[in-house]
Structure 1
Amino acid sequence: MDYILKSLFSSEAEELYILDCSAYLLILMALLTFVTLLFENVPYGRYASSRYGFPVNVKFAWFVQELPAILVPFCLVFFTSASRTSHLPNQLLLCMYFCHYVQRSLIYPFLIRGGKPTPFVSFALAIVFCIFNGYLQTRYLSHYAEYPADWVTHPCFISGAILWFAGWLINVHSDHILRNLRKPGETGYKIPRGGLFEFVSGANFFGEITEWAGFALAGHSIHSLAFAFFTLVVLASRAMAHHKWYLTKFEDYPKSRKALLPFVF
């Protein structure tokens, strides 16, 4: 793996420069995505369309598209001279990253019940993103990120870690609620109840946004910030689309429920 990286970059300074540029590119991609999503829903699930390619089985799609977010980082951490992985702040931040994607790729897909197929374009774009972002986050943390020795006791790290953990719990619990909306043999959509769904339509999205906001606060870098910003743009759009859809679909949908931010938005 080191040989591959050395063949791609003439020096560590050049690779770090590319990582920095990639973070700014991710922010630009988020802004372009924001403009696009003003006119078009993300084509997946209830918004899937044949315009975006042939359908891919939803379990297979989730497993395969998220898997690079584990495999690429795993290779970078364990098969390169990852000089910063002996430092506690870097270890904890990498653990946050891996914890999310192990659940998302190796557990979540196999718990899905039913679910509409994923259009191929969405599937392919997700793979590209997971490779790109997996490299960006873990290469920076494993080889370049430098933190003070007492960073884990800094208010930014502590509050960020708490936010990350709270968001992870909300995300996992909300997915559990969505999976169990229908009893065996039932079809059709139902109104989510329980947990944060009592306050917002996009409880699962709120959880994941909170996760990566906490990760960005604890990580304190342009790389983690870019990831959090991209997540916010994409998932906030999904939450708004779901909220509008629920209001249209169900006459008895709770009018006090917000789209994403409890009591506010």
Structure 2
Amino acid sequence: MDALLSRLFSSEEEERYILDCMGYFMVFMAACTFVSLLFENVPYGRYATSKYGFPVNVKFAWFVQELPAFLLPFCLVFWTSSAKTSLLPNQLLIAMYFCHYVQRALIYPFLIRGGKPTPLMSFVLAFVFCMYNGYMQVRYLSHYAEYPASWITQPCFIIGSVLWLVGWLVNVHSDHILRNLRKPGETGYKIPTGGMFEYVSGANFLGEITEWAGFALAGHSVHSSAFAIFTTVVLASRAVAHHKWYTEKFEDYPKNRKALVPFLF
């Protein structure tokens, strides 16, 4: 793996520069995505359409598209000269990243019940994003990120870590609620209840946004911040679309339930 990276980059300074550029480019893409989502929802799940390519089995799509976000970082940590992985702040941040993607890539896809096929274009774009972001996050943390020895006692790291944990738990619990809405043999959509769904329509999205916002606060880098911004743009749009869809489909949908932020939005 080191040999491959040495062929791609002439020096560590060049790779670090490229990593920074990747972070800023992700922020730019978040802005472009924000504009595009004003006109059309991300085409997967209930918003999938045939104009974005032939359908891919949803379990296969989720597993394959998320796998690079786990596999590539795994190779970077264990098969390269990861200069910073001996440092505790770096270890904890890498652990946060892996905790999410072990669940998302290796567990979540196999728990999906039913679910509409994913259009090919959405599948390919998700695969590319996971590879891009996986390399950017973990290569930076494992080889370049430098934190003071006292970083894990600083408010940014402590608050960020707590936010990450709360967000991860909300995300996993909300996915569990959604999976169990229908009894075996039942079809169609139901109103989710329990957990944060009592307050917002996009409880799973709120959890993941909170998770990566905490990661960005604890990591304190353009790379983690870019990921948090991009995640917020995509998932906030999806939460708003879900809320509108629920209120139009169900006459008895809870009137006090918001789209994403309890009591506010």
Partner of 2:224: 224
Give every structure 1 segment of 4 or more consecutive aligned residues whose post-TM-superposition deviation is greater than 3 Å: none
Q: Please state whether the residue corresponding to 2:114 is helix, strand or coil.
A: coil
1:10 aligns with 2:10: yes
> Hey, what's the Cα distance between the residues in 2 that align with 1:223 and 1:48?
30
Question: What CA deviation, in whole Å up to 9, does each residue of 1:10-63 have, x standing for no partner?
Answer: 110000000000000000000000000000000001100000000000000000
d(CA) in 2 for partners of 1:81, 1:64:
27
Task: Verify: 1:96 aligned to 2:96, yes or no.
Answer: yes
Residue matched to 2:143: 143
RMSD: 0.3
SS in 2 for 1:205: helix
> 1:113 maps to which residue?
113
Q: Once the two structures are superposed, what CA deviation does each residue of 1:115-142 show, in whole Å capped at 9, x if it has no partner?
A: 0000000000000000000000000000
What is the distance in 1 between the residues matched to 2:68 and 2:170?
24
Where structure 1 has 5 or more consecutive residues not aligned to the other structure, the ranges are none
Corresponding residue for residue 239 of structure 1: 239
**CA–CA distance in 2 between the matches of 1:255 and 1:4?**
56
Q: Which residue of 1 aligns with 2:153?
A: 153
Partner of 1:19: 19
Q: Match for residue 252 of structure 2?
A: 252
Q: What one-letter code is carried by the residue in structure 2 that aligns with 1:118?
A: T
Kindly indicate whether residue 25 of structure 2 is the aligned counterpart of residue 32 of structure 1. Answer: no
For residues 210 and 26 of structure 1, what CA distance do their matches in structure 2 show? 19
For residues 172-183 of structure 1, what are the structure 2 equivalents within 5 Å?
A: 172-183=172-183
How many aligned positions are there?
A: 265
Shift of 1:73: 0.2
What is the identity, as a one-letter code, of the residue corresponding to 1:147? Y
One-letter identity of the residue aligned with 2:84: R
Aligned equivalent of 2:124: 124
Distance 1:227 1:117 in 2: 26
Q: Counterpart of 2:161 in 1: which secondary structure?
A: helix
Alpha-carbon distance in structure 2 between the residues aligned to 1:81 and 1:129: 24
Letter in 1 for 2:87: H
Structure-2 separation of matches of 1:7 and 1:163: 39
Alignment of 1:46-65 (within 5 A): 46-65=46-65
Which whole-Å CA distance do the structure 2 matches of 1:97 and 1:201 have between them? 25
Q: Deviations over 1:145-183 (max 9, x none)?
A: 000001011110000000000000000000000000000
C-alpha distance in 1 between matches for 2:114 and 2:80:
40
C-alpha distance in structure 2 between counterparts of 1:161 and 1:91, whole Å: 13
C-alpha separation between the residues in 2 aligned to 1:213 and 1:194? 24
Which residue identity lines up with residue 31 of structure 1 in the other structure? A
1:210-252 deviations in Å (ceiling 9; x for gaps) = 0000000000001100000000000000000000000000000
Mapped partners of 2:6, 2:12: distance in 1 = 9
